[in-house]
DNA sequence: TAACGTTTGTTATAATATAACATATTTGAG
DNA sequence: CTCAAATATGTTATATTATAACAAACGTTA
């Protein structure tokens, strides 16, 4: 096991908010939520987000410019991410499917480029929204 | 075959620039490049981009907020996109691999959500950059 | 304890994207 | 044809997302 990651104050505050959230959070919405804790500037949020991403604690949903907590414990350093995104309610689910992950990690581009990392985003309408 | 898409003036101008480019273009860089043609405002660019994306003529590279021309002729309406991105030179290549596309289009989430669309971005260092 | 790396705080500004409204142009049904 | 609807344009303003740059504090650890 790698050495335990100790989070700094701001990193912990930001991570807490993201973990408590039911869906992806935007940087400025995080900011508004932590102003009572003395964090006043976007930089402070973005710096914490950057570190948390590096550590694999959170992921960025690129199509939404939003951030979610990593739920897959084995996702050490987020080189292989896949998400399921509802286009109606904006819900995001991290997909941890070994087969999928292996398939994509082993995928090789015809043109010979070796991949270090991928990000996959699926879109659709979730069960809950279909009922409504 | 669906009816031929006729592009409006601005759409054509924007598409031309993107097609001529060697790599992904950002919206504001497109804007600066077309000011001589009488396009002055971001809105005009973003509106054209939106339509071109709808038509499947271009794709957005979400991780870069940039736009590339669609090279795969059979990519009617861009429900299944995959890209190879060099982290060094920023080169982007559209991947058209039938197997990959079928595999992902047929992928079903355990939680029962039916996907309509996906976007996959691979990252690495391209051959050319490896040499340098 | 001094030197180094990391984190913090802060102000300012850059880069990306949309709102809202007025007008013009194209298209298609009657 | 011709009017109505849909689409596209032009324009000003503003919202949203993200980074630059600099100074100070904190925490290792040699």
Q: What is the pLDDT of residue A73?
A: 63
With 0.85 as the threshold, say if the pTM is over it.
yes
Nucleotides of D under 7 A from a protein CB: 7-13, 16-21
Query: Rounded to whole angstroms, how far apart are CA atoms B79 and B116?
Result: 7
Which site among B85, B111, B118, B131 would you substitute to test the A interface, given the most A Cβ atoms closer than 10 Å to its Cβ?
Answer: B118
Alpha-carbon distances of A106 from A86, A121, B77, B122, rounded to whole Å: 27, 18, 27, 12
pLDDT, one tens digit per residue, over B86-96 is 999 999 999 99
- Residue A90, token pair as written in the block: 């904006």
Which site among A122, A123, A125, A130 would you substitute to test the B interface, given the most B Cβ atoms closer than 10 Å to its Cβ?
Answer: A122
- Per-position DSSP letters for chain B, written without gaps between them: -PPPPPPPHHHHHHHHHHHH-SS-B-HHHHHHHTGGGT---HHHHHHHHHHHHHHTSEEEETTTTEEEE---TT-SS-SEEEEEEETTT--EEE---HHHHHHHHT---TT-PEEEEEEEEEEEE-HHHHH-
pLDDT, one tens digit per residue, over B13-66 is 999 999 999 999 999 999 999 999 999 999 999 999 999 999 999 999 999 999
Q: What is the pLDDT of residue B1?
A: 31
Task: Label residue A112 by pLDDT band (50, 70, 90).
Answer: confident
pLDDT, one tens digit per residue, over B95-116 is 999 999 999 999 988 788 999 9
pLDDT, one tens digit per residue, over A5-30 is 689 999 999 999 999 999 999 999 99
B122: contact with A, CB 8 A cutoff: yes
Q: What is the pLDDT of residue B76?
A: 56
Distance of residue B108 Cα from the nearest chain A Cα, in angstroms:
10
Q: What is the pLDDT of residue A126?
A: 92
Q: How far is the CA of A8 from the C1' of D23 (A)?
A: 20
Q: What is the pLDDT of residue A71?
A: 86
B99: contact with A, CB 8 A cutoff: no
B74: contact with A, CB 8 A cutoff: no
């Amino acid at each position: 096991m790698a050495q335990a990651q100790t989070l700094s104050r701001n990193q912990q505050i930001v991570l807490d908010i993201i973990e408590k959230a039911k869906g992806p959070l935007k940087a400025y919405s995080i900011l508004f939520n932590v102003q009572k804790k003395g964090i006043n500037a976007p930089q402070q949020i973005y710096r914490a987000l950057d570190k948390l991403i590096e550590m694999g604690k959170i992921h960025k949903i690129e199509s939404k410019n939003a951030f979610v907590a990593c739920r897959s414990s084995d996702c050490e350093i987020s080189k292989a991410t896949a998400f399921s995104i509802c286009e109606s309610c904006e819900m995001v689910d991290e997909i941890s499917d070994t087969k999928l992950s292996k398939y994509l990690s082993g995928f090789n581009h015809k043109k010979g480029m070796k991949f270090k990392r991928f990000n996959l985003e699926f879109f659709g309408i979730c069960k809950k929204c279909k009922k409504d």
